[in-house]
Structure 1
């Protein structure tokens, strides 16, 4: 390597080192990393919460999971008499599910009586598919048509710890949150928090486990509090806006 090439190479290395060091020591980066670690340690898991809600039911239980990915992460550990799963197989190519399709297609076929029966009603529908507000909102609306009167809709990723976790683009991982991604599920959940026809709460565990019910007194609806769904507004009023509670408080409701 010539002296000139070596000179420019060394300058580039120093520049990348300085920028990288500054990034890794940035307060926003460090805070986000810390929040990720705290969230991972929170208990119980969504699986435990779902199984608890199912245990409240008398008789046989029927369960539907939307967005399964690897079934070992949750689906296989759910205790219900009858279980169905929906996933298009984008993130887990083996995709050993009952209905290999999107949730939109599943509900469209269900309402047309082309799969199962449109008379079916579920004790719990767990929504963990595409984590974007518009899709989650549609999934909630469709799920409400097919849960029993005393059933529950459960949602994952309703309480992103930082704005980096709540980014829209999952593929862009060069953020302080890295691979951790909750998407904009929280916006859809917050929208339904403002709907007086349902009751809702969010368990402060496993990235926020939202629960919606037609009749169980999980929490009263709220008036519109975050018109433009700004994350900073959520951050300042998280407990009230999401009706954020711990698992023991959920148990006490029943």
Structure 2
């Protein structure tokens, strides 16, 4: 593969400097359309490999929470939500407006607020451009002119699989591979803002991550390479004084989601 000429690479890097919603510098080499195309391809691959839950209760519960969160997230997309039958304790959101939730997550979340904490975290990765950042870092490291076409193309030649890899999706279950710890912390805090503005109790985010940390055996994928449990919970608790007023304002304005009980895992 040919390498980018140094002047061209330098120009791309200078043009691609961006700032995250929380003020962190980012490298973004791809357009929103590029990222949406990758997300759609990866979501389709996941749906082919993992059984989709057809039960009404699970879909209604997840869709209700997801719609409430995405309504306040400020990402222009008609979000598609699927529930996948898998014991994996996991969920993900992708550019292009795609959300996947695994039924194994129902073993951990105890109420709608805790699911909102998960989905708000995942949607925050999309809103903050973490997928673009991840792909751009890989692209800049490889420096290959053919990477863009290979990742974005999905013509039966394996482009969808490359899109999964670029976005951090594992081949077997569509599991999100870890973002950097800085991105994870950013998604925690931004997600807390989103769930609060949607009318979900941000204090339940602390309980959720406590539930996650108490799972026996191998840590769930949602916790892979994340900040330590104590660090994450401390950061969320420090943010609560800022988000509790948002929650109260949302409730006063009539944002009171009623999504029902958590389905059986």
* TM-score interval, smaller chain: under 0.3
Q: More helix per residue: 1 or 2? A: 2
TM-score normalised by the chain length of structure 2: 0.23
Which has the bigger relative contact order, CA under 8 A and spacing at least 6?
2
The structure number with the bigger radius of gyration is: 1
